[in-house]
Chain A
């Protein structure tokens, strides 16, 4: 049983098709994206903390939108089986969060190294110990150098759009890398939001595995004697050099993804009020909280701009340097204790004394706009900024 859907041009689905306004959770938005993505196979594991997204995708399978789906034994097994399915030349999807991400960690560099265009949603949560099932995105810090492309969704609309578009970006012949789409768990996954959806009877064209820079693993691709995963661990210079160039190619592929990210996501960053002397730079739901803080500060006569970072890998280095060029204070609120976004930004801009590290919340704490506002006001006082 296959559900009746029309294959449509991705550009039409993304940019031109009529959209209907619905009031759904982020998890439902994930399923809506998968419904339109012409996915062959999805694999699920009920990691704690779970979102209902992978149940909903199971329902899609039962309705005929996917050709295969099963519940696997653990997250490492999920990511390994998803890898196997992708090697076989089809389009796949899975999702995880927090401890599940860490459990599966060994597979993420494998996906990138094997150049699989796997799309995986991460509903970021705290990681043990102490145990937490609350929103927190520290797991993103641990994935920064896996070779994966990483997008950070602010809300359910972002989550829907980024997942659907990720397939087209990941499957570009010059890219062919896995893409992780991250959202702050619970805030985005479990709450309802207005989302504009293209018609459900449209779907992306199917994945063409011959577009990959590596042969499909199906014994249909000559020549005969070819190893899919070359053994580059011998102790000699040729092996080191081949291994190094393979890694360089993965990094280069991520750079080549930039133009596709700019086209499909409308830029790697989004700037509002770029001339403000005070800027907030944030990703994920910290962006939404910052928007509220900025509105209230404006009422108090404090002018603050916003840089929303959408693409975390590849990192928009040039864009951030240019966006923050004239800022005197750069505030980086984050939902984690480590402050990975702050480190990333400080590593690419000059005059780091302009950066206010935080505010940061974690362990289940929320980030009220008042927290961001008071941090900014304190910094203004300390630095003697004129606003």
Chain B
């Protein structure tokens, strides 16, 4: 979409909310922004109803501030915590049924390639750990096997947050949660490793405690998906509400995880390495 498309004509200017005009004039559509610029521009994400200290909302904020072309980015999700913020963002966002996001994104990406053959339309899947690792695992993996040119971002809070703190496949082994009354019996599902063997050409594992890194890998993942193939970013987004820690401890928890299950990891094919040298 060109900025001309969203710029109101003079006659309408006075009836549009300030918030909208700010998006046009001070948003990321005209002048490209990044995580470094947060606090200085009108963001794609509007106020949201997430809990205090929510890691997911921070993950979304960082990811949306890192879109290389927000004016041509479309986000596909699935029901869960993530949709509360995403449905109030200034990019097209769709969430339909449970766990179908990578299939919806596949159809969407292919149709946009048919309709806009000369443009990059970035289709980005942004969902929680349950949506990818559990209910949507098969559709996610198949989109990678098929080499669909989409970016998949997991907002991993290691729990089903929106439904009330149940065990997910990404929960830590031993953690006592709803539906895991005696503790989770198996390890985190190795989705990150599965991404590499399933056809993703680039993957990164980060936490919200490292905003710059999140911004950098999300941007890379989207650019690579345009040109080369499927990409995957897994962001640790701790949940104070269900993990029962004070909301001002989110970053601390994420930092601790960087020494454990969320050490920084990245993989890329040779083709991607070559591509990254040139951007």
Residues of A at under 8 Å CB distance from B?
A: 40-41, 43, 67-68, 70, 72-74, 76-78, 80-90, 92, 106-107, 110, 114, 217-231
CA distance A199 to B154 in the complex (A): 50
> Which residues of chain B come closer than 8 Å to A88, judged between CB atoms?
107-108, 110-112, 114-115
Instruction: Please give the distance in Å from B107's CB to the nearest CB on chain A.
Output: 3
> Which residues of chain B come closer than 8 Å to A90, judged between CB atoms?
111, 114-115
Contact with A along B102-119 (1 / 0, CB 8 A): 011111111111111000
Given A84-B76, A88-B112, A217 and B92 contact (CB-CB distance below 8 Å): yes
| Residues of chain B in range 67-85 having any CB-CB distance to chain A below 8 Å | 71-74, 76, 83-84
B108, A84: Cβ atoms closer than 8 Å: yes
By beta carbon, the residue of chain B nearest A230 is: B87
> Which residues of chain B come closer than 8 Å to A83, judged between CB atoms?
96, 100, 104, 107
Instruction: Please give the distance in Å from A174's CB to the nearest CB on chain B.
Output: 23
> Which residues of chain B come closer than 8 Å to A114, judged between CB atoms?
94, 96
Give the residue among A67, A73, A77, A221 with the most B Cβ atoms within 10 A. Answer: A77
CA distance A106 to B19 in the complex (A): 36
B100, A80: Cβ atoms closer than 8 Å: yes
> Which residues of chain B come closer than 8 Å to A222, judged between CB atoms?
1, 5-6
CA distance A114 to B114 in the complex (A): 21
Residues of B at under 8 Å CB distance from A?
A: 1, 5-6, 16, 19-20, 23-24, 27, 29, 46, 71-74, 76, 83-84, 87-98, 100, 103-116, 121, 138-139, 142, 146
CA distance A106 to B93 in the complex (A): 19
By beta carbon, the residue of chain A nearest B93 is: A227
CA distance A106 to B6 in the complex (A): 35
> Which residues of chain A come closer than 8 Å to B83, judged between CB atoms?
231
Checking A40, A110, A223 against B96 with a beta-carbon cut-off of 8 angstroms, the contacting residue is A110
A85, B111: Cβ atoms closer than 8 Å: yes
Instruction: Please give the distance in Å from A178's CB to the nearest CB on chain B.
Output: 13
CA distance A230 to B88 in the complex (A): 9
B92, A81: Cβ atoms closer than 8 Å: no
Checking A40, A67, A89, A229 against B95 with a beta-carbon cut-off of 8 angstroms, the contacting residue is A229
B97, A106: Cβ atoms closer than 8 Å: yes
A sample of 13 more A-B contacts (CB under 8 A), given A87-B94, A87-B111, A218-B116, is A73-B139, A76-B97, A84-B104, A84-B106, A88-B111, A88-B112, A89-B115, A219-B92, A223-B16, A224-B23, A224-B24, A227-B89, A229-B87
Given A80-B97, A227-B93, A70 and B88 contact (CB-CB distance below 8 Å): no
Give the residue among A92, A228, A230 with the most B Cβ atoms within 10 A. Answer: A228
> Which residues of chain A come closer than 8 Å to B29, judged between CB atoms?
224
A107, B115: Cβ atoms closer than 8 Å: no
By beta carbon, the residue of chain A nearest B98 is: A106
A80, B139: Cβ atoms closer than 8 Å: yes
A224, B6: Cβ atoms closer than 8 Å: yes
Given A73-B138, A219-B1, A227-B93, A84 and B103 contact (CB-CB distance below 8 Å): yes
> Which residues of chain B come closer than 8 Å to A68, judged between CB atoms?
110-111, 113-114
A224, B100: Cβ atoms closer than 8 Å: no
> Which residues of chain A come closer than 8 Å to B90, judged between CB atoms?
224-225
Given A43-B107, A70-B146, A218 and B112 contact (CB-CB distance below 8 Å): yes
B104, A81: Cβ atoms closer than 8 Å: yes
CA distance A73 to B127 in the complex (A): 20
> Which residues of chain B come closer than 8 Å to A78, judged between CB atoms?
103
Checking B1, B93, B111, B121 against A41 with a beta-carbon cut-off of 8 angstroms, the contacting residue is B111
> Which residues of chain A come closer than 8 Å to B89, judged between CB atoms?
225, 227
